[in-house]
Amino acid sequence: MTAADTTANGIGGNGIGLLDRERIIAKPGFNRWLVPPAALAIHLCIGMAYGFSVFWLPLSRAIGIKSSVACPAGASILNALFTTSCDWKISELGWMYTLFFVVLGSAAAMWGGWLERAGPRKAGVVAALCWCGGLMISAVGVATHQLWMMWLGSGVIGGIGLGLGYISPVSTLIKWFPDRRGMATGMAIMGFGGAAMIGAPLASLLMNYFRTPTMIGVWQTFVALGVIYFVFMLGGAFGYRVPPVGWQPEGWTPPPEKRQVDDHQASGPSPGRAQDKQFWLIWLVLTLNVSAGIGVIGMASPMLQEIFGGSLIGHPELKFGELSGEQRTAIAVIAAGFTGLLSLFNIGGHFFWASLSDKVGRKNTTIRSSRSASRSMRWRRGPPTSAARRCSSPSSASSCRCTAVASRPCQPISFGTQFVGAIHGRLLTAWSTAGIVGPVVVNYTARPSSPRACRASWSTTSPCTSWPGC
């Protein structure tokens, strides 16, 4: 490399840029417990993707404000992308949520190998620019009532930020905690799962603050969240450090089988051989588990508001369409809290099951999680008096879904630590598939075609007989 090349590629001519991997190699004596907070800072921001359901109902009244302005009968999705004369349907808005996870998995698969070469700091900064920049583009889309800008902004560009922001902490923590990989990755991922516990109530408060008689306050909320998240994500990215080559925790010696894997002698697939049978079995299990969870989470807020209506504020006789503006504001706050409750179960599921996988093994954890998810999503029918027992709790479903997700980041270790970023990225394509299957099933299949009939049926004492996706 010539002197000109060195100066062009580095800062001050030293060949190492501010964001380069070489810049963040930890010095001797570095405390590895300083890395998890940096990872949490990233995941607590991008995890707001789980809390976007708080925006669906306000956005469905962006023009009508108090009630939705219906589009002409038979209007196509193309009309919804560009119309400025009628309101969007929640099912149309929900595609942005689907795009989150489709692009998340695709981006992680495409740039997982690049992350290992470039380092987590550079990946974290790019993730911050994409995620927060996507929120800004979506703010413009809301202000101009252009759905395509929201799909492009938060869905596609923000989804790229999700993918890079998701795998960069996991890849880093696995290297720092070879003795406690499950617990370490659980600490990072619980931030992603628990972000909505903070973000959803915050978004609800901001929308109420910015709301006026002629404005729903969503675009201003997007801008505020974008600025807040950008500051914290940059802080997390610059807090990253990577261990030097050959580093091990003091006093810890890897077992023989783990030493073989770490020495790159495992028989698992390289990034170019992701067709391995073991890889695809893990991929299939993750797809099935995630489909159940994100389908419920994506519609949590409007589902609670539309189904229970006035009963949330002590007026069970009032249906959702009969509520005043003040009453709708009150139940929106409650629905945001419900979304936060799902997030709380995400936190517990991620950390507990990931830590447990260190003790009982990744395979056993995955098997147990699959059984739990299956039970939580089994809709039971019976006498009306047993509705509480029969209806699977969305919170339980969310927690069970986390059990598979919790042990998943450690699975790429079986293919060699040098492949963590690349294999983990390819494994996240399961989220891309689940991001289509789960939300589409809930948005278009489980939900009754007539909202009036739905509300009427839910006024009975046996709700689960009317909405399979309760």
pLDDT tens-digit readout, 22-64: 999 999 889 999 998 999 999 999 989 988 988 998 999 999 9
For 214-233, write each residue's pLDDT tens digit. Answer: 999 999 999 999 999 999 99
d(CA 422, CA 111): 8
Residue 451 has pLDDT above 80, yes or no: no
Q: How far lies 102's CA from each of 13, 95, 278, 432, in Å? A: 40, 10, 22, 4
- If you average pLDDT over every residue of the chain, what do you get? 74
pLDDT, residue 318, reads 75
What's the pTM value of the predicted model, to 2 decimals? 0.70
322: enclosing H helix or E strand: none
pLDDT, residue 175, reads 86
Q: Which range among 65-79, 91-105, 188-202, 293-307 shows the weakest confidence by mean pLDDT?
A: 293-307
Say which residue the tokens 């840029």 belong to.
Answer: 17
pLDDT, residue 368, reads 64
Q: Given pLDDT bands bounded at 50, 70 and 90, which one contains residue 448?
A: very low
Task: Report, as an integer, the average pLDDT of 156-170.
Answer: 91
Q: Name the residue with higher pLDDT: 192 or 301.
A: 192
Angle at Cα 181 formed by Cα 178 and Cα 187, nearest 5°?
135
Query: Of 231, 268, 309, nearest to 57 (Cα)?
Result: 309
Angle at Cα 104 formed by Cα 91 and Cα 169, nearest 5°?
135
Task: Report, as an integer, the average pLDDT of 101-109.
Answer: 85
SS3 242: strand
Q: Which range among 1-15, 123-137, 244-258 shows the weakest confidence by mean pLDDT?
A: 1-15
43: enclosing H helix or E strand: helix 35-46
pLDDT, residue 230, reads 98
Angle at Cα 158 formed by Cα 184 and Cα 156, nearest 5°?
125
Could you state, in order of their start, the residue ranges of all structural domains in the chain? 31-68+80-241+270-378+389-465
Query: Of 147, 173, 172, nearest to 78 (Cα)?
Result: 147
Whole-angstrom Cα Rg for the chain: 23
SS3 160: helix
The CATH architecture of the domain made up of 31-68+80-241+270-378+389-465 is: Up-down Bundle (1.20)
Residue 437 has pLDDT above 80, yes or no: no
d(CA 322, CA 269): 58
